[in-house]
Amino acid sequence: MREITIPISPETIRELHTGDTVALTGILATGRDTVHKWMIDTFIRKTRQPEGDDLEVYEAIKPVFKNSLIYHCGPVVSGVETGDYKFVAAGPTTSIREEPYQSEVMRHFDMRGVIGKGGMGAKTLQACQELPAAYFHAIGGAATLIAGSVEEVIGVYKLDFGVPEAIWVLKVKQFPVVVTMDSHGKSIHDEVEMASRKKLQALIGS
């Protein structure tokens, strides 16, 4: 398993290939459906005007995401009422929901990749080649184990979106992931889909 420290350089991303196992250490942040739409509408496509704390949050998260990762995660967090936050469960959520937004978000914030489960589509794969970046597959069903990788909750933004949809800034150590989409245009998810389609066609044709 290769150990990689965040922030991640473009050169390090280029060294990674699908199938590589990685342990991530450093600072990253979570973001799901509501966060992606908020980023796109307010700061990228600019179809809505910033309001409330939008600009303040934007300035705070820009340096967090640069050369770092966005984690598709809806965590279970204790201590929300007191501000003594502790991640109880931190499993990945299905990434493909963010496909309409992800490439633009990655480019805008100069991210080095995404963590999630299930893989993503052609637009995200293209962005991985251009930036460069990678898609890191986290283990579904291992929410408690992954929560053990969270050393500290550094902060939270947009808690008004709800606990699962907020932006949680985390310090992680030895976060276990597998590269399933790399910066060289390869996607394990595409390969599995193609192989499955061939088998299905063979079964139907037999």
CA dihedral 1, 111, 95, 184 (to 10 degrees): -60
pLDDT, position 37:
98
Taking the C-alpha atoms of residue 176 and residue 24, their distance in angstroms, rounded to an integer, is: 7
**Among the four given CATH numbers 2.40.50.1020, 3.20.130.10, 3.40.640.10, 3.40.30.10, the one describing domain 2-205:** 3.20.130.10
The number of angstroms, rounded, from the C-alpha of 140 to the middle of its chain's C-alpha atoms is 14
Q: Residue 26 half-sphere exposure, CB side, CA atoms within 13 Å?
A: 20
Pair of tokens at residue 178: 């597998």
pLDDT, position 201:
61
Max CA-CA distance within the chain?
Answer: 62
Burial (0-12, 13-18, 19+ Cβ within 10 Å), 101: buried
Please list the active-site residues: 36
Bridge partners for 177 per DSSP: 22
**Could you tell me which residues come within 8 angstroms of residue 16 by beta carbon, excluding any fewer than 6 positions away?**
2, 22, 134, 179, 182, 183
Report if pTM > 0.75: yes
Residue type, 129: Q
Residue with tokens 């969270």: 150
Taking the C-alpha atoms of residue 141 and residue 37, their distance in angstroms, rounded to an integer, is: 26
Taking the C-alpha atoms of residue 4 and residue 12, their distance in angstroms, rounded to an integer, is: 8
Q: What is the pLDDT along the chain (206 residues), one digit of tens a residue?
A: 999 999 999 999 999 999 999 999 999 999 999 999 999 999 999 999 999 999 999 999 999 999 999 999 999 999 999 999 999 999 999 999 999 999 999 999 999 999 999 999 999 999 999 999 999 999 877 788 889 999 999 999 999 999 999 999 999 999 999 999 999 999 998 655 554 455 546 556 65
Domain boundaries, the chain: 2-205
The H or E element that residue 56 is part of is: helix 54-65
Contact 65, 88 (CB under 8 A): no
pLDDT, position 4:
98
